[in-house]
A and B are shown apart, each in its own frame.
Chain A
Amino acid sequence: SQKIEQNSEALNIQEGKTATLTCNYTNYSPAYLQWYRQDPGRGPVFLLLIRENEKEKRKERLKVTFDTTLKQSLFHITASQPADSATYLCALLNDYKLSFGAGTTVTVRA
């Protein structure tokens, strides 16, 4: 069966450090992978998209990698700030519909 797995445990890090989140998938062949941010009580907000032929994508302090051999994406938040505290969702584009992971909650301590 198809599965998308993200870090099951919440991530607590010190301000200024790098947070690294993982997204592993099985029985998908996604051409695209997206990352979203979700704050409590709100809908997800799109952050980044990476294509299967791209190894790495950056946007400001965010970096995403996509390894189709390992079936894994890594999401990095560098120089983290308390405002980065949120839940981060990965999503795979599958037959033009998105399938989402359960998300990883990140808390950045000042």
Chain B
Amino acid sequence: NAGVTQTPKFQVLKTGQSMTLQCAQDMNHNSMYWYRQDPGMGLRLIYYSASEGTTDKGEVPNGYNVSRLNKREFSLRLESAAPSQTSVYFCASSERGTSPGNEQFFGPGTRLTVL
């Protein structure tokens, strides 16, 4: 039982390049989330998927797109990377987003640098 896995662990991009961050969970959770974490700012929600087949914008969606490929997988795409997207990206999942108080399970993170 691996929990939430993310690939890659580290990535360096040049401005304008594109890439996809992959996330998978093996806990049969319905809801999945993408966050970014910057020093002194806490975790900020980029996009989330309350259930398979649905996605919604979070607090900071600009410059990103997501795909809920199936119940297990939720990917985050940067179409044209910018230095402001340098951050640590975390994927998380929970049993059902609409259930009150559901704890979220986080992956190990992807450390992205955009030059």
Contacts and interface: CB of A to CB of B under 8 A. Distances in A.
B101 to A, nearest CB: 4
Question: Which size bracket describes the interface of A in this complex?
Answer: 20 to 34
Given A98-B45, A101-B42, A49 B101 contact: yes
Nearest to A45: B106
A4 B43 CA distance: 11
A97 B42 contact: no
Interface in B55-90: 58-59, 90
Interface residues of B, number: 27
Q: Which among B40, B92, B104 has the highest number of chain A CB atoms within 10 Å? A: B104
Nearest to A103: B42
Contacts of B40: 102
Interface of A: 4, 31-32, 34, 41-46, 49, 51, 89, 91, 93, 96-103
Given A97-B58, A100-B42, A103-B42, 10 more contacts: A31-B100, A42-B108, A44-B90, A44-B106, A49-B101, A89-B42, A89-B43, A93-B101, A97-B48, A102-B40
